[in-house]
Structure 1
Amino acid sequence: MFSPRVALASLSGESDAEWAMAGAEYAGAAFLGGIALDEQTRTAARKLVSRDRTEFLSDDPIEFVDHQLEELSGTPIRPGFNVRSATLPPIRAVAEVCREHDAIVEINAHCRQEEMCETGAGQSLLRNPDRLCEQVRVANETGATVSVKLRTEVSGVDLPNLARRVTDMGAAIIHVDAMDSEHVIADIAETTDCFLIANNGVRDEATVFEYLEHGADAVSIGRPSDRPEVLSRVRRATDEWFAEVVA
């Protein structure tokens, strides 16, 4: 899927091509975004901006994705784009752009901001698996590599079963914000054959090894993704782990 087995995770409105290039020495993939694609989610994003959150609000979000991915065409890092939409046509359109750039399209079932969830996007998809599966299906039909970003500790959600359902619909990657619930990584690894990325608190050898011992195929770095000292430690630990596995 990508190597080294370290991904940079998106921070809404901050993770762009320049950010990805800055971390390319340490990571095999970078998830840009998140970006709101349709009018419902873009209205929600504008509300988030009004209360001092950062969002990408280009006049044409699909064109913005295309331009950002083009910026990364000469770098070794594999890009992905984390996207949010309440409707299906923009999912298809952005997935086609990602396919053209050999980029990953990542369905956001992770954002917990109330304004975004009220549109039916983000974390609300965890409680509406049929809707999430439809987004995955539409993206997968384009031939793009599809990831789904999930979070643990949402009451009433059977995350391993949900992971199985979205992989059955074509998701190749499950990207999990473990939220101090590392055992869920093991549960998903046992339930699916997907490429599993573990996120949350990845900082050093101990945190890397914990997730990989639970069955993750890679780890991702969120907030400290712009700190070379953290990226270096995580890259070194991940390389060491997989070197021993191969040996």
Structure 2
Amino acid sequence: MTAPSPPEPLDFRPRVALASLSGESDAEWAAAGSEYAGAAVLGGIALDEPTREAARELVDRDRTEFLPADPVAFVDEQLAALSDVPIQSGFNARTTEMTPLRDVARVCRDRDAFVEINAHCRQDEMCAAGAGESLLRDPDRLCEQVREAAETGAAVSVKVRTEVPGVDLPALAERAEAAGADAVHVDAMDSESVVGEVAAATGLFVIANNEVRDRESVREYLDYGADAVSVGRPSDEPAVLERVREATRAWFAGEVEP
């Protein structure tokens, strides 16, 4: 008799995640969306001086960023505020140094949350610092971050984007999985089929993002093999979240029409 597969580290219900919006996605935001989502990724948070300086530069040009005096303590406080909220929490982190990443990963582990490594941010300042999308072009550094976080015992997700020239995302996801990642959070941009390629290439828990708004967009990503979908900019719009939640529930209940 075949033994049952262990549960996924990010096996949340409903299979809807609230995606991080830098400087906006805090515990209050996650709690407000918990009626509609099974998971919420807080952050992003800049952990070391290069990424914090990049965040300060972004603020100077009117973008929002979390810039607490102690980023690790901030992560702990925010996750603690969700301890009684029925939602799987995670924290999106940007760094070039391993020590603060390990510290945040331990906090996430101890708070039953996951840490999400940001290989997604495409702002020039963050990429110049060596974080965000720049990690997609440097798989060795990305995998180092995955390994360092995973070795703490935390569940690890990697936030990525498609349509980065020269980047083979399915191959990169395979490497991240080998380094210890549990999940990949894919911003599909205008290349939705890449979600299917990543799902086929790995055993990672795949969260699909970009223009998730309704039954049609949910079904497209789940058809491609995603395990869950995430909602970004309209994550504070109950009408959108309700449509996505119900579409996702119907899919996994086998109630979708052919």
Normalising by the smaller structure, the TM-score range is over 0.9
Correspondent of 2:166 among 156, 167, 176:
156
Q: Which runs of 5+ in 1 are unaligned?
A: none
Q: In structure 2, what is the equivalent of residue 78 of structure 1? A: 88
Give the match for residue 92 of structure 1.
102
For the residues of structure 1 that align with 2:193 and 2:230, how far apart are their CA atoms?
17
Q: Which runs of structure 1 show a deviation greater than 4 angstroms over 4 or more consecutive aligned residues?
A: none
In 2, Cα distance between the equivalents of 1:182 and 1:45?
Answer: 29
Give, in whole Å, the separation in 2 of the partners of 1:41 and 1:185: 28
Amino acid at match of 1:167: E
Query: What code does the residue aligned with 2:43 have?
Result: G
Q: What's the CA shift string for 1:169-206, capped at 9, x where partnerless?
A: 11001000000111101100110011000000000000
Show the counterpart of 2:145.
135
Deviation at 1:78, TM superposition (A): 0.6
Residue 241 in structure 1 maps to residue 251 in structure 2: yes
Q: Distance in 2 between matches of 1:26 and 1:3?
A: 10
**Residue in 2 aligned with 1:180?**
190
Structure 2 counterpart of 1:82, one-letter code:
N
- Aligned to 2:254, the other structure's residue is in SS state helix
**Identity rate, percent:** 69
- Rounded to whole Å, the distance in 2 between the matches of 1:103 and 1:15 is 15
Q: Distance in 2 between matches of 1:220 and 1:132?
A: 22
**CA offsets, 1:188-228, max 9 Å, x none?**
01100110000000000000000000000000000000000
| Among 160, 178, 184, the residue aligned to 1:168 | 178
Residue of structure 2 equivalent to 1:202: 212
Supply the distance in 2 between the matched residues of 1:213 and 1:78 (Cα, whole angstroms): 24
Q: Aligned pair 1:56/2:39, yes or no? A: no
CA distance in 1, matches of 2:54, 2:130: 11
Within-5 A mapping of 1:9-48: 9-48=19-58
CA–CA separation in structure 1 for the residues paired with 2:154 and 2:181: 10
Tell me how many residue pairs correspond in the alignment: 246
Structure 1 length-normalised TM: 0.99
Distance 1:117 1:87 in 2: 14
Measure the CA separation in 1 of the matches of 2:190 and 2:113.
Answer: 29
- Aligned-partner Cα distance in 2 for 1:157–1:224: 28
Partners of 2:201 and 2:167 lie apart in 1 by 15
**Residue matched to 1:124:** 134
Q: CA deviation at 1:113?
A: 0.4
Q: How high is the TM-score relative to the length of structure 2?
A: 0.94
The one-character-per-residue Cα deviations of 1:123-150 (angstroms, maximum 9, x if unpaired) are 0000000000000000000000000000
Report the residue type matching 1:187 in the other structure: E
Counterpart CA distance in 2 for 1:186 and 1:23 is: 27
- Calculate the aligned-residue CA RMSD, in Å: 0.9
**What's the CA shift for 1:119?**
1.0
Q: Aligned equivalents of 1:106 and 1:225: distance in 2?
A: 18
| Aligned mates of 1:182, 1:43 — CA distance in 2 | 33
Q: Does the residue aligned with 2:44 lie in a helix, a strand or coil? A: strand
